[in-house]
Amino acid sequence: MEQALKTYQKTNERLNALGLCYFLEGWDSTFAPTASILARGKQMATISELYYEFSTSPEYESAIQTLYERRDSLDEVLRHEITEKYKSIAKLKKIPKEEYVEYQALLAQLYPLYVECKNKGDFDTFEPKFDQIFEYLRRYCKYLETDTLKGYDVLLDEFEPGMTKKQYDVFFGQIKEKLVPFIARVLKQKLSYNRAVSKRTYPVEGQKAYVAYLRKVMGFDEDRTTIGESEHPFTNSNGRNDVRITVHYYENVLSSFIFSSIHEMGHGLYEMQVSPELDDTQSGGGASCAMHESQSRFMENMIARSKAFTETHFPALKEIFSEELKDVTVDDFYAYINEAQASFIRTEADELTYPLHVLIRYEIEREIIENGLTARQARELWNQKYFDYLGVRVENDRDGILQDVHWSQGSFGYFPTYALGSAYAAQFYHAMERDIDVERAIRSGCLKEISEWNKEHIHKYGSSKYPEEILRLATGEDFNVNYYIDYLIEKFTKLYRL
């Protein structure tokens, strides 16, 4: 037992050190010369090989096995960690090695082809690759089925432990029943506000000044965080004392940098507020994809797109862009940042229509895995559902089935967590209101009180508990989709004066 613990820890130290390479490479690649890609790619592939060797070494696996057998004598954090590691090792063993290796090799070379096909809107060239991925995933699910996880459940549970079709069907069922007709009503209305706000140019210098302001509002400590720039914004961390986010500045879109930086800071705060007691464990970071997304979307939508936040922090924006915003009022800005629109692109969707984009992907993924849908049929279904739910007709696959990178990377079961994150956020908000006056806290100018609540009830646990446990501890109940639906309907009924 003692020896097993030693091997376990020593290997983790090695894996963590290699993890630092990934972290630094990810950050560095945002400003490295483009010509360096090839050589770096090779070096990173070697690091990945090392990572794979350490994490699948017989000594490491047998240490985990030993610790798993005696898990009752481990402390709570380590027991959770070992159980999870044991499960993922056992899982990998159920997949024939050649098949796994072949599939990984396929995925590894697909990215450049995907980007090319997406840019050209060329579905035909990518179609056979999609079909290969779909076929592999159907076999993968068969290999990993258990008494409780059937078909698509295998993939859903991978990204959000504890969530299966049963729970997601209730979740998306409610979205379909209540939100789809509500959104159709909203989309028939037109908000009246000064649209000049979306037609002007906002110099990057001013945008950066506002990010510096928001950083103080959010409590994103300068001595523990860095804010950089990249094409697609992201958050990355190396422990809770080195948290980095990126922003993309578009001169002609005022809302983009504001809400994407707040979104990433929401992710970052989660990483920063994990309990120091978990420093030397493998249980830092967030509890799951949806839990992480709940924290970014909570800050981005429920806090920063609220009336209270807008009224409190729009004046500072107006001070920076005094010329550009001179005829734009708080109400204009509030309408501009919350306006709902039927659109094709998920990542650009507003808060209200966003879950429909995810609903569509959930329904199609399920058909692909469980009913043998081909890539061509999936594309047809995609276009049909966009028309049925959002009333838009997809003309170019770039705006349709090729828009997201996920499927081209074999990532299935991941999309549902995006919508689930927003729903968790609404449930947390409701629980938070029992303890503090959230609106007053927002109007105080800094989000410290709100952030403290998140730390105490969610962040401090890191990944040492399952999302469902954290949800129960923080809110006193199991997952309940109604908070999310009620929140959206209330907010948009008011905004659209329905």
**Active site residues per annotation:** 264
Closest contact distance (angstroms) between CB of 215 and Zn ion is 18
Closest contact distance (angstroms) between CB of 211 and Zn ion is 17
* Measured distance CA(488)–CA(184) in Å, rounded: 14
Enumerate residues 6+ apart whose C-beta is below 8 A from 99: 136, 139
* Measured distance CA(335)–CA(193) in Å, rounded: 7
Residues 231-250 that bind Zn ion (CB under 5 A): none
| Nearer to Zn ion (CB atom), residue 281 or residue 296 | 296
CA distances from 88 to 32, 94, 198 (A): 34, 10, 48
Are the beta carbons of 487 and 494 closer than 8 angstroms? no
Beta strand 225-229 with 243-247 is: parallel
Segment contacting Zn ion (CB under 5 A): 28-36, 293-301, 304-312, 478-486? 293-301
| Nearer to Zn ion (CB atom), residue 296 or residue 408 | 296
Closest CA to 150 of 136, 134, 166, 161: 166
| Nearer to Zn ion (CB atom), residue 55 or residue 296 | 296
Closest contact distance (angstroms) between CB of 246 and Zn ion is 12
Segment contacting Zn ion (CB under 5 A): 137-145, 288-296, 442-450, 458-466? 288-296
| Nearer to Zn ion (CB atom), residue 333 or residue 418 | 418
Closest contact distance (angstroms) between CB of 263 and Zn ion is 6
Residues 31-50 that bind Zn ion (CB under 5 A): none
Segment contacting Zn ion (CB under 5 A): 147-155, 292-300, 320-328, 458-466? 292-300
* Measured distance CA(415)–CA(400) in Å, rounded: 15
Q: Is 288 in the site for Zn ion (CB under 5 A)?
A: no
Size of the site for Zn ion (CB under 5 A): 1
Segment contacting Zn ion (CB under 5 A): 43-51, 132-140, 158-166, 295-303? 295-303
* Measured distance CA(455)–CA(275) in Å, rounded: 9
Judged by CB under 5 A, which of 12, 225, 296, 464 binds Zn ion? 296
Question: Which strand (E) or helix (H) includes residue 225?
Answer: strand 225-229
Closest contact distance (angstroms) between CB of 289 and Zn ion is 9
* Measured distance CA(130)–CA(375) in Å, rounded: 6
| Nearer to Zn ion (CB atom), residue 288 or residue 296 | 296
Closest contact distance (angstroms) between CB of 234 and Zn ion is 8
Segment contacting Zn ion (CB under 5 A): 64-72, 116-124, 291-299, 314-322? 291-299
* Measured distance CA(429)–CA(423) in Å, rounded: 10
| Nearer to Zn ion (CB atom), residue 296 or residue 403 | 296
* Measured distance CA(21)–CA(178) in Å, rounded: 46
Enumerate residues 6+ apart whose C-beta is below 8 A from 404: 346, 347, 361, 415
Comparing every residue's Cβ against Zn ion, the nearest one is: 296
Are the beta carbons of 397 and 114 closer than 8 angstroms? no
* Measured distance CA(273)–CA(261) in Å, rounded: 18
Closest contact distance (angstroms) between CB of 267 and Zn ion is 6
135 HSE (CA, 13 A, CB side): 10
Beta bridge partners of 247: 229
| Nearer to Zn ion (CB atom), residue 282 or residue 296 | 296
| Count of helices and strands (H, E) across the chain | 22, 3
Q: Interface residues with Zn ion (CB under 5 A)?
A: 296
